């Protein structure tokens, strides 16, 4: 249960704002088929543009963490500034989209400002929801998943519209989300104590505190798989679909992660965040390993496999963040979460570039099982927290 003092509108506003802000993530990916047809770009351009955004996010999260931006200043103001800036960067990408190098730069900048949306949204939730944080973050990161998938839905809905209209729509959505959060909420009680010095000791808990280290390493294993799977989904679906059908299917598969996030948050209140995260990580890892057979299966099994993978590949993320937020030093939760995101996304860049590059010469059935390396290592790291939850009386 959440604390009685939390106004009812806080969580819905946070969820809507997070959804709107993170719609920037795959705005260009959704229009890539049009750009590839018009400009003759290779398949590898998708991986490069996604990685440019991920790299921007890494740099942004490092800057935000080392300067303790989310702990020094009002998180609402940081979210607003970054949502408006990310929207402006998407407008820049729209204006210069035919210039590949400029597009890479704009996507890098967009990723930088996403560092003030995703982890800062989690910090705001942690400020309000001292109790029931797993459920709150389940809804919040579920919104991130839907926001990331929304670009594919916009493409499907706007199939008859020129792709520039879709990019402009995403920019407007992100700006609106930032304004909504700032206008419709206020700072959480007891959130005004500002950090004035860099929290090196607090940041070091990523490897000095056993509990924080376990959740962070589990998250890193999750990140090896997550974004690469998301980038590969259109390639997997392209073996059976094309056009609007492919866009809708990609939205369903990616968006299904919201079910895993929200449902996992609800179950975690009764079962524990570590056990929920471990169960979903195990399931998504099995989805990687069974890819050679599923790719050759009938349509019903093929699509069921992708939906289950979509649900579980993202569903563990809020529980990893919950575990880290609970165990991190209270005065530096925002910075610890941000630094964790930074390292996790660095791992995702390596994975994305590697797998997208190999996909041009290696069959998907041979390639996809190697994504299971991340879940396997994540499950190994998570064992102490799972055991600790298992010893508690329900």
User: Is 61 a residue whose pLDDT tops 70?
Assistant: yes
User: What are the tens digits of pLDDT across the range 89-147?
Assistant: 999 988 887 788 888 899 999 999 998 998 888 778 877 876 777 777 788 788 778 77
User: Is 31 a residue whose pLDDT tops 80?
Assistant: no
CA–CA separation, 54 vs 349, rounded Å? 6
CATH of 10-185+206-388, one of 1.20.140.10, 1.20.1250.20, 1.10.8.100, 2.60.120.380: 1.20.1250.20
Where in the chain are the domains? 10-185+206-388
CA–CA separation, 321 vs 102, rounded Å? 34
User: What are the tens digits of pLDDT across the range 253-309?
Assistant: 999 999 999 898 889 888 899 999 999 999 999 999 999 999 999 999 999 999 999
User: Is 168 a residue whose pLDDT tops 90?
Assistant: no
pTM of the model: 0.78
User: Is 193 a residue whose pLDDT tops 60?
Assistant: no
User: Is 394 a residue whose pLDDT tops 50?
Assistant: no
């Amino acid at each position: 249960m959440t604390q009685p003092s939390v106004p009812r509108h806080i969580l819905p506003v946070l969820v809507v704002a997070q959804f709107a802000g993170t719609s920037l993530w795959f705005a260009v990916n959704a229009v890539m088929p049009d750009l590839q047809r018009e400009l003759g770009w290779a398949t590898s351009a998708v991986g490069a543009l996604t990685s440019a955004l991920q790299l921007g996010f890494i740099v942004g999260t490092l800057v935000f963490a080392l300067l303790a931006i989310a702990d020094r200043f009002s998180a609402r103001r940081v979210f607003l500034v970054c949502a408006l800036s990310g929207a402006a960067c998407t407008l820049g990408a729209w204006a210069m989209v035919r210039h590949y190098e400029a597009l890479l730069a704009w996507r890098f900048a967009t990723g930088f400002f996403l560092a003030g949306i995703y982890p800062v949204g989690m910090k705001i939730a942690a400020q309000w929801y001292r109790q029931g944080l797993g459920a709150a973050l389940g809804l919040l990161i579920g919104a991130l998943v839907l926001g990331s998938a929304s670009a594919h839905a916009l493409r499907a809905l706007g199939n008859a519209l020129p792709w520039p209209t879709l990019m402009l729509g995403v920019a407007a959505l992100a700006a609106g989300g930032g304004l909504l959060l700032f206008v419709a909420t206020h700072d959480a009680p007891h959130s005004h104590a500002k950090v004035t010095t860099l929290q090196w000791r607090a940041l070091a808990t990523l490897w000095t505190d056993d509990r924080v280290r376990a959740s962070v390493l589990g998250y890193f294993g999750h990140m090896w798989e997550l974004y690469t799977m998301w980038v590969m989904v259109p390639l997997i679906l392209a073996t059976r679909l094309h056009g609007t059908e492919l866009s809708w299917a990609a939205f369903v598969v990616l968006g299904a992660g919201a079910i895993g996030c929200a449902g996992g948050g609800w179950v975690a209140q009764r079962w524990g965040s570590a056990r929920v995260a471990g169960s979903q990580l195990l399931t998504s890892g099995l989805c990687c390993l069974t890819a050679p057979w599923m790719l050759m299966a009938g349509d019903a099994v093929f699509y069921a496999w992708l939906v289950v993978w979509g649900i579980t590949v993202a569903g563990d993320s809020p529980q990893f963040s919950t575990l880290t937020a609970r165990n991190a030093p209270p005065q530096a939760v925002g910075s610890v979460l941000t630094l964790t995101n930074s390292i996790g996304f660095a791992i995702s860049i390596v994975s994305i570039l590697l797998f997208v590059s190999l996909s041009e010469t290696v069959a998907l059935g041979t390639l996809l099982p190697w994504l299971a390396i991340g879940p396997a290592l994540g499950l190994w790291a998570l064992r102490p927290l799972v055991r600790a939850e298992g010893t508690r009386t329900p």
